[in-house]
Amino acid sequence: MSCALSVRHGSFGRAAVYQLDRTIITHAHREGHLIFYLDGQESSVEFEDKGCALNDSFSVAVSPWEPHSFQIPPNSTSCLCLVLYIKPIWFLENSPSAEFALQFGCNEVRLTPQLHELVMRLTSLLLDNEHVDQFDLILFELIRRCFEQTWLRMPKAGLLDRARLRFSDFRVRRSLRIMHESISVESDVESLARQVGLSRPHFFKLFKMQMGVTPNIYLNTLRSEHAIHDLLKTEKSVTDIAEELGFSSQASFTRFFSSNVGIAPSEYRRVARVDAESFPMVS
């Protein structure tokens, strides 16, 4: 069964060491996402049109809202990996550029000796579970180097056009608003499409074209984020959180959480460590 050895939340986002032995279905994050292989079974991350190997030579970079799934061969041993979810604003505030939020040029990151050393140092700090000032510095350096590597030989043109496209249709904008307001109910795409005056297929196509993910994946991301927030910053039971999010049972919520986040919600709550500044609103 997949488990977490360490999870840390901070102003940077989230960093975790996971031992994964099962596939994580297609999902997306609002953060920039980096996955580094540490040990065990080699695996891969699948995108819509390609797959990227995850092994001791290659890591994977995933841009915000880019759909992807984690694949591991069935009946294999688990894969130990360092997983980062980086808030674009944190990266931007530390980075010298004012041109792009955390959008990677490509998904594949070749693990150079320098990158490997940074990955090991970061993993060690995470597993030691100590609050070390160096953590953010090493983390930023690792992400910066990966980010720059993904843009080598890649044209930047067109990236912002895509970003700008996200909000250009008022019906998609309206649907986003409805989703944000009705996160706690099991909204179905059919009724969402109706509410914005489109047929289901047209809505699906338009939403995917503008946001990069399907409405279902978008809603799943919102629910996962909400669940993580409640698990870490409230005393609510897993059953209560499941109920608030519209799941019919704790079991179905656990299945949803495990297949989207990678580990069970109770396991996540047990392992995660939260810096004061990660959820200042509650702390």
Q: Of 52-60, 99-107, 136-144, 256-264, which part binds another protein (CB under 8 A)?
A: 99-107
By CB under 8 A, name the one of 3, 38, 80, 92 that touches another protein. Answer: 92
Task: Please tell me whether residue 178 binds another protein under the rule CB under 8 A.
Answer: no
**Is the CB of 91 or the CB of 268 nearer to another protein?**
91
**Is the CB of 173 or the CB of 270 nearer to another protein?**
173
By CB under 8 A, name the one of 200, 229, 236, 269 that touches another protein. Answer: 229
Measured between alpha carbons, how far is 11 from 281 in angstroms, rounded to an integer? 12
Measured between alpha carbons, how far is 59 from 82 in angstroms, rounded to an integer? 10
Q: Which residues contact 95 (CB under 8 A, 6 or more apart)?
A: 144, 147
**Is the CB of 121 or the CB of 229 nearer to another protein?**
229
Measured between alpha carbons, how far is 207 from 201 in angstroms, rounded to an integer? 10
Structure tokens at 133: 């000032």
Residues 35-74 close enough to bind another protein by CB under 8 A: none
Q: Are strands 32-40 and 58-62 parallel, antiparallel or unpaired?
A: antiparallel
Residue type, 219: L
- Least distance to another protein from the beta carbon of 234, Å? 11
Task: Please tell me whether residue 5 binds another protein under the rule CB under 8 A.
Answer: no
For residue 152, count CB atoms less than 10 angstroms from its CB and return exposed for 0-12, middle for 13-18, buried for 19 or more: exposed
Please state whether 187 falls in left (phi above 0), alpha (psi between -120 and 50) or beta.
beta
Task: Please tell me whether residue 205 binds another protein under the rule CB under 8 A.
Answer: no
Buried b (16+ CB within 10 A) or exposed e, 186-215: ebebeebbeebebeeeebbebbbebbbbbb
Task: Please tell me whether residue 270 binds another protein under the rule CB under 8 A.
Answer: no
- Least distance to another protein from the beta carbon of 181, Å? 8
**Is the CB of 80 or the CB of 179 nearer to another protein?**
179
Residues 179-198 close enough to bind another protein by CB under 8 A: 180-181, 183
By CB under 8 A, name the one of 116, 121, 208, 226 that touches another protein. Answer: 226
Task: Please tell me whether residue 202 binds another protein under the rule CB under 8 A.
Answer: no
Which helix (H) or strand (E) element contains residue 112?
A: none
Task: Please tell me whether residue 277 binds another protein under the rule CB under 8 A.
Answer: yes
Q: Which of 32, 29, 37, 36 is nearest to 12 (CA)?
A: 32
Task: Please tell me whether residue 100 binds another protein under the rule CB under 8 A.
Answer: yes
**Is the CB of 99 or the CB of 148 nearer to another protein?**
99
For residue 8, count CB atoms less than 10 angstroms from its CB and return exposed for 0-12, middle for 13-18, buried for 19 or more: buried
Binding site for another protein (CB under 8 A): 11, 87-90, 92, 97-101, 160, 163-164, 167-168, 170, 173-174, 176-177, 180-181, 183, 222, 225-226, 229, 277, 279-282
